[in-house]
Structure 1
Amino acid sequence: MQRFVTGPAVPQSVKDADTSSGLKDAQLGLLQVCTAHLTGEARWLKVGKRSDLELKLAAVMAEYRASGRAVPPPDCSPIFKDLVAHAGLEMAMEGFGQARKAISGRALEFIMDEMRGYPDVLGGDYSDLPPERKENFHVVICGSGICGICVAMRLQTAGIPYTILEKDDGLGGTWWQNRYPGVGCDTPSHVYSYSGEPNCKWKHFFAKGEENREYLNRLVDKYGIRANARLNTEVVEAVWDEAASLWRVTYRNKDRTEGVMTANAYVAAVGQLSCPRVPNLPGKELFKGSSFNSSRWKEGTDLRGKRVAMLGTGATGIQMSKHLAEVCEHLTIFQGTPNYYVDLPNYQRAIPEGERWCFGNVPFYERWYRFQHLLHLTDIYHESLTAGSPLNGELKQSIQDWMIGKCGDDRELLKKILPNYPPVCTRMLVDNGWIDRLKRPNVTIVDGHATHLTESSVVGTGSVAGQVIADVDAVVYCTGFQSTRFCLPAMKVTGKGGKTLSEVWGDVPTAYLGITVPQFPNFFVTYGPNTNVGSGGSIMWNAENEARYIMQCCTAMVRNNIRSLECKQEVAALYDKKLCHDLKSTVWSDPGCRSWYKNGAEGKPVTNCPYSLEDYWESACALNLDDYDCVRA
């Protein structure tokens, strides 16, 4: 947003012919809001004739180019209320109806904070940090996915030394690891980019894996992060040295040699979806065919003409199944839990070339598109995850009606795939021809888990077909990740008094704001307990809110000469008590809900956040040092 409000909003390099050509591919609603914003005239919000809007916006952009002036920020516009109301109109291609209610003041504050790129309201530009203390402060980040890169970008901007330890041979986290056919994002591309670093080069409305990988690595190079990253370096253990108030991080190199690195602050940016969960099925060691996990797919793998069993039908499964169904002799899918699917018209759609130009050159085109998405999310997010809410009921009915229509006369298929629990209990998936795929003659779906393997087959039991024996040449495990254990499968973390994080968490992990844990000073987790957006939204929201908070903690330590920053037990306990209470009203606490969001004997949902996007944002936007025990140098 800054490049438009500091001017010139339209540089001399933007040519009239390019403007006219690009605007022909622009969305009508965005033509309206951009013309109204740039002119300050609300009447353009109601103009429905494309040609009039294109001509006016082209003329206005030419005037801005000639004058070299900037565009007023949206909230400084005299027609801001009209612009906001317009953003609530139907977004049919994105799957949103008209907004159900007027946006709240807090939700609007949250969205505007994102529009500005989540500036640090406490730290400013960090010019006040004492140079010597800053230079002697070192942060170790384990992991280089979306969250790890986000923390690194802020540290780099502030000039605070840091090192990323990454076990893979490249940066990008899940987008570096996952190379299976059809891999892509089921979150809209333009909200799957950092708010302060929008990507105007997306080729698809829902980006494919390679696009995400390219975007993240472009930022890695822009910020100079690569020079601070050690690849093929796996964290083994992190131990808090109480006497020195330092973390001692043991790492293992590719050649199996080990070393120790010290850190004033340690960030476990491993995430929830990095350590695969492969079921230990009886007979697994007997199977003579090939088998592998989807997240460890090897490029060049050829399954043409093979009989393949695919275990799992989550987001990865439905993406990969398209390729498998097209190349395999026969594909047998062991479903496990049936899922809800939403049909989004834009899901497989490429962004027209002209509109890609608009995203990069029309002032605020990309910002208003993102604003629209966020307004619609705040409109429905919290109610959709609330058990028994009218919206959740409407969602269930509309999706089930759609599934019934897609199955047609195939009642046996419908019985296999129709969920009997409320929507949002499990991850909402995006349909990419899934039901049509299940009707193919070379595809069989089993509505149950695989129970064991033999030398040449996978055996399972379905409620419709009974026992199924699938003779196969290969098994593909699309069985998800150890999401409810967070960073624990990847490393051992030992805090004060020799207590390990595994001991403190047990089966039910918890953290204050999902970020920090008592007894573990100067330790932070990203995408931690109860931070997942389980009803839409984007992990970018997690990354940016958490990275800003972690940055505030680190800069507070530098600024105030704090050696040890530890969340108070009573603060964490009070937060967890409220969290547990609020989780009870969500669909994840429904007795019929079984998903990777839950863990432990209590069945407490441990991955997902029960709060609205704006409520969590408000909790995490500004560090309160009163929440911490601080030991100064």
Structure 2
Amino acid sequence: MSAAGLDEAVQAPDDLFWQEHSERITEPDEELQRIVEAADLPALLAALAAATGDTSFLTPDLRPPLKPVDTVSHPHGGMSAEAQERGRAAALAGLRRLRDEGITRSRMLRHAETGTILEFLTNGHTEWDGMLRHELDLAPDKNGAPDWQFDDVAAGREFSALIVGSGVAGLAAAHRFRQAGVPFSIIESADRLGGTWQKNRYPGVRLDTPTFGYSYSFAQRSDWPHQFAQGAEIREYLETVAERSGIAELVEYGTRLLSADWDPETGLWTVLTRVRGGTEQRRTFNAVITATGQLDIPNIPDFPGRDSFGGVAMHSQDWDEAVDYRGKRVAVIGTGASAYQIVPAICADVESMVVFQRSAPWMLPAPSYHDSMTEVFSWLRRKVPHYAQWYRLWVTVLGIPGRFHTVRAEEAWNGAPLSVSARNQEVREELTRILGEQFSGHPELLKHAVPGYPPGAKRMLRDNGVWARALTSDHVAVETSPIREITPTGIVTEDGTRHEVDIIVYATGFRPSEYLEGIEIRGLDGVEIHDAWDGDARAYNGITVPGFPNFFMVYGPNVGGVVAGSLHFMLERASEYALKAIREVLARQVKALDVRPEAMERFVAWVDGENRQMAWGQPYVRTWYQNAKGRVSQIWPFTNVEYWEVTESINPADYDFLA
């Protein structure tokens, strides 16, 4: 296709960060060649095809094979050296064309063009198209935003929804509801929006997933500073999203939901909220959407004597930025995600540190964990129309299959409980080899650094060597004897060792399986939701619960991904599903809809069956992915594609409609 069509008007897509024009390319061929040599080829080729309107060079021999990733990502999705050479030649020709023809924007793609580029990026996985079009700005059928308006479906009807929480999930829900014109209120118990990213301000806090995989489809920021964004950058992003979408001015801060009671006669939820100062208020809503998160309730073990400690004690989520840890004796309890970030961030500044370890973490190599985005990436996002959006889509493509193949258990595997399959054992051996190099000369530490459970059974961290360097420092000790008690001056372990410290940091994680903790939700017949769950939270698609009409959860049970996929995608889809359900209620002119128990049980059986095939679902594994009943209630064991499919429409057979 020629570039003639590029004069067509560019339709602004569903993206709060949309920029129609890029900067003009003026660099000579030599500079363009240098850029191409360092570029991520699949993303660049896709961007050039869209910008030039020419998809003819996306030949099958250039498709990235998407070679499965065990521990380290394969450059360019596993393209061969020969394919890379041909791809660079095509990319150079494309950049020259942008320069010579002065192309600084892409028009919206046609349906067939979108399919051609997606088929190239996915190596022919056309079954992924629907999910990827949800994420693609230039797709004519980008399918996240609602295609209906409240006034067109239910003009004159009194209807309002309550969204609880203004973190990542709450903002996703509020944006979609605002787009559809559905009246809603949004409350937030804290003084600022941002959820877990507003609360977690400890030293070193940052993403442990690539930045471009951690953003909304409707807010595709292009100028991220770091490859793994720092906490402050995520906070800034969420605040900007809220401002640009108009949500920031709607949030009722300092307002906590205490309870919600369903009235079958009126078809309304009566909610009780408490604001600053303790004032309580009752209000009614037609629907309630909870977006209260999973990693929100700190888990602080009830060690004997915990309250007697005379120094500073704080959970990682409640980090006191006024505390000066420099030159102090510090204890860090835990070796999970927050400890992994805190320990290297502060160890050089403390007098001494002792890290209390119950179990060691598995860590995936990530040499760029603390790196900025590259100079070449910066050039491409400024000069190639929508390159950053295509790069984000490429990251999304790579995340679809993820590392599922490394954590699926083989029946009767004889390597248990240290591994679950031959491939899992290979991953174990490779990661153990890396640990051996990092802890060389420290055999006692290495003994405790190698986990005694299969890779993937628990959350895997990102490793660029800083953890091992911190633990092998002369003034840092690792304590593996369990904690017996906490005294006014420190910590005593079961072997009798006393550790005198000034500061105790509880990097002990959260209680994610305790959904809606501290909130009473009473549905049909006055049944309270926690009584209905009896310690085992379940929801259809992770969203709706039988007996609780017009009640929707965003980031509910079994929607968390750990080896594949995008959390933002899951949260957006849950929000969009809730909105589709409300449209059904409005269009049918009924009070509410209530998911049928058999639909939820079918969904739970499907999810449970797959989770039992994974490393985290093995009977000998204990992880926070499981609830008090031993069921894996946190994890989505499929890809984002399956979640796109199950949330694409409301199946009337799965619901009762209450008139």
Same fold (TM over 0.5): yes
Show CA shifts across 1:572-621 (max 9, x none). 122222333232212122233121111224x1111111223322321122
Show CA shifts across 1:76-107 (max 9, x none). 1695477326xxxxxxxxxxxxxxxx564323
**5 Å matches for 1:116-515?**
116=137, 119-120=142-143, 123-126=146-149, 129-130=152-153, 132-133=155-156, 136-353=158-375, 355-359=377-381, 362-388=384-410, 389-432=421-464, 433-461=466-494, 466-487=495-516, 489-515=517-543
Q: Structure 1 residue 52: deviation in Å?
A: 6.0
Show CA shifts across 1:197-218 (max 9, x none). 2111200011001111111111
Q: Does residue 578 of structure 1 match 2:620?
A: no
| Range with greater deviation from structure 2 (10-19 or 562-571) | 10-19
How far, CA to CA, are the matches of 1:625 and 1:19 in structure 2?
60
Alpha carbons 1:5, 1:72 under 8 Å: kept: no
**5 Å matches for 1:577-596?**
577-596=605-624
For the residue of structure 2 that corresponds to 1:114, the secondary structure is: coil
How far, CA to CA, are the matches of 1:5 and 1:396 in structure 2?
54
For the residue of structure 2 that corresponds to 1:251, the secondary structure is: strand
**Cα distance change, pair 314–66 in 1 and its aligned pair in 2 (3 A):** closer
The one-letter amino acid of 2:476's match is V
**5 Å matches for 1:64-79?**
65=102, 70=107, 72=109, 76=113
- Stretches of structure 1 that go unaligned for 5 or more consecutive residues are 86-101
Alpha carbons 1:417, 1:447 under 8 Å: kept: no
| Range with greater deviation from structure 2 (198-207 or 617-626) | 617-626
Alpha carbons 2:367, 2:463 under 8 Å: kept: no
Among 48, 52, 68, the residue aligned to 1:35: 48
Among 623, 636, 640, the residue aligned to 1:609: 636
The one-letter amino acid of 1:403's match is L
Q: Structure 1 residue 51: deviation in Å?
A: 8.8
Show CA shifts across 1:326-369 (max 9, x none). 21111111111211001112211101355235335523422332
Alpha carbons 2:544, 2:553 under 8 Å: kept: yes
- Stretches of structure 2 that go unaligned for 5 or more consecutive residues are 1-5, 13-18, 63-82, 411-420
How far, CA to CA, are the matches of 2:292 and 2:518 in structure 1?
8
Alpha carbons 2:154, 2:586 under 8 Å: kept: no
For the residue of structure 2 that corresponds to 1:260, the secondary structure is: strand
Please name the residue that 2:416 is paired with: none
Show CA shifts across 1:387-427 (max 9, x none). 23444333222212211221113221111121121111111
**5 Å matches for 1:72-111?**
72=109, 76=113, 80=117, 83-84=120-121, 104-111=125-132
Q: Does residue 630 of structure 1 match 2:652?
A: no
Please name the residue that 2:558 is paired with: 530
Show CA shifts across 1:503-529 (max 9, x none). 011121111111110011111111111
For the residue of structure 1 that corresponds to 2:634, the secondary structure is: coil
Alpha carbons 2:204, 2:345 under 8 Å: kept: yes
Q: Structure 1 residue 469: deviation in Å?
A: 2.1
Among 3, 10, 14, the residue aligned to 1:7: 10
Question: What TM-score results when the alignment is normalised by the length of structure 2?
Answer: 0.85
**Cα distance change, pair 478–28 in 1 and its aligned pair in 2 (3 A):** closer
Alpha carbons 2:570, 2:643 under 8 Å: kept: no
The one-letter amino acid of 2:268's match is L
Question: What TM-score results when the alignment is normalised by the length of structure 1?
Answer: 0.89
Show CA shifts across 1:247-284 (max 9, x none). 11111111111112211110110111111111111101
How far, CA to CA, are the matches of 2:7 and 2:265 in structure 1?
50
How far, CA to CA, are the matches of 1:112 and 1:594 in structure 2?
37
The one-letter amino acid of 1:126's match is Q
Among 96, 109, 131, the residue aligned to 1:59: 96
How far, CA to CA, are the matches of 2:135 and 2:20 in structure 1?
25
Please name the residue that 1:114 is paired with: 135
The one-letter amino acid of 1:482's match is R
Show CA shifts across 1:168-209 (max 9, x none). 110111111111111111111111011222111200011001
How far, CA to CA, are the matches of 1:258 and 1:627 in structure 2?
37
How far, CA to CA, are the matches of 1:82 and 1:521 in structure 2?
41
| Range with greater deviation from structure 2 (607-616 or 140-149) | 607-616
Alpha carbons 1:103, 1:375 under 8 Å: kept: no
For the residue of structure 2 that corresponds to 1:598, the secondary structure is: coil
Alpha carbons 1:172, 1:216 under 8 Å: kept: yes
**Cα distance change, pair 493–416 in 1 and its aligned pair in 2 (3 A):** same
The one-letter amino acid of 1:27's match is A
Alpha carbons 2:150, 2:181 under 8 Å: kept: no
The one-letter amino acid of 1:40's match is T
For the residue of structure 1 that corresponds to 2:85, the secondary structure is: coil
Alpha carbons 1:22, 1:355 under 8 Å: kept: no
